[in-house]
């Protein structure tokens, strides 16, 4: 299997000599074919999946996160230069990552290990929870990685991160024309925190709400569910509605289906 021993010229043009000297001595792990139709980067104990529109894996987020297909166009509009969304990163790798950033940037960024020195990535790993603009990150960038990103239209950016049970999840967006506003950062962070909460904390569903969904799953009517749970029908309706809102479901039937697909009930 062939290994890459240099930074591609398209990327290197934007990187200063210090970065080039640094990148040339890094280990470039090979890319191995993946039966799922993705490119799996192997090396440094940090396997990443580079998901692109041509890969079948692009539907995975839609299956994992209710309503994500409705959110995707908004991410694309906010970040025309690209975005990356990753869940459950540890020293051994990331469970799932999807990126719309330029392919040449994706491949070199991961394959060369450049991401380990990226001040944005270092902020993501260091922070426990929060959101920030790239320009507000004070971690040094001696290798000029952010300057290199500008050559690919990634002049301005924002990132959000959260750690749950020792697992980092993060999102990073970029564009070339102007900074992200406070409202935009709040919007993206709100969506991102919801996604992490959905995956790790059962979408913040309470035991009472899950009990209602379980009763509906078993084919009980609202009145029968009220009898089983020793509450009023109005309480069943309220808990069912709250569950729908948390799961972004359009009906109680859809809420039950989502909860079942994620093994919440």
| Least confident interval from 154-158, 186-190, 192-196, 246-250 | 246-250
Q: What range defines the domain where residue 229 resides?
A: 204-261
Has residue 50 got a pLDDT over 90? no
Taking residues 150-173, report their average pLDDT.
92
Residue 233: its pLDDT value, please?
95
* pLDDT for residue 22 is more than 50: no
Asked whether residue 250 is assigned to any structural domain, the reply reads yes
Q: 138 in a domain, yes or no? A: yes
Nearest of 133, 189, 122 to residue 162 by alpha carbon? 189
Please state the rounded mean pLDDT for residues 221-249: 92
- pLDDT for 4 beyond 50: no
CATH code for the domain in which residue 17 is found: 3.30.450.80
Domain boundary among 181, 200, 219: 200
Dihedral class, residue 172 (left if φ above 0, else alpha if ψ from -120 to 50, else beta): beta
CA angle 58, 60, 65 (to 5 degrees): 120
Q: Average pLDDT over the chain, rounded to whole?
A: 77
């Amino acid at each position: 299997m062939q290994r890459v021993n240099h930074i591609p010229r398209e990327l290197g043009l934007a990187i200063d000599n210090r970065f080039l000297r640094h990148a040339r001595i890094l280990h470039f792990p090979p890319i191995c074919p993946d039966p799922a139709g993705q490119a799996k980067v192997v090396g440094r104990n940090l396997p990443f999946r580079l998901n692109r529109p041509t890969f079948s894996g692009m539907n995975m987020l839609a299956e994992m996160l209710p309503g994500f297909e409705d959110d995707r166009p908004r991410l694309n509009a906010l970040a025309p230069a690209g975005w990356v969304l990753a869940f459950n990163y540890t020293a051994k790798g990331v469970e799932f990552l999807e990126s719309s950033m330029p392919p040449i940037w994706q491949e070199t960024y991961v394959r060369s290990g450049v991401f380990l020195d990226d001040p944005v990535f270092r902020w993501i790993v260091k922070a426990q929870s929060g959101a920030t603009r790239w320009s507000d990150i004070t971690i040094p960038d001696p290798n000029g990685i952010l300057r290199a990103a500008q050559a690919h239209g990634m002049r301005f950016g924002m990132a959000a991160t959260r750690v749950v049970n020792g697992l980092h999840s993060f999102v990073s967006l970029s564009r070339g024309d102007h900074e992200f506003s406070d409202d935009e950062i709040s919007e993206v962070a709100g969506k991102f925190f919801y996604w992490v909460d959905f995956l790790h904390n059962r979408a913040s569903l309470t035991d009472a709400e899950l009990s209602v969904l379980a009763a509906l799953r078993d084919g009980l009517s609202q009145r029968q569910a009220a009898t089983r749970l020793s509450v009023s029908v109005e309480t069943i309706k309220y808990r069912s509605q709250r569950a729908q809102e948390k799961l972004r479901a359009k009906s109680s039937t859809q809420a039950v289906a989502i909860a079942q697909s994620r093994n919440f009930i």
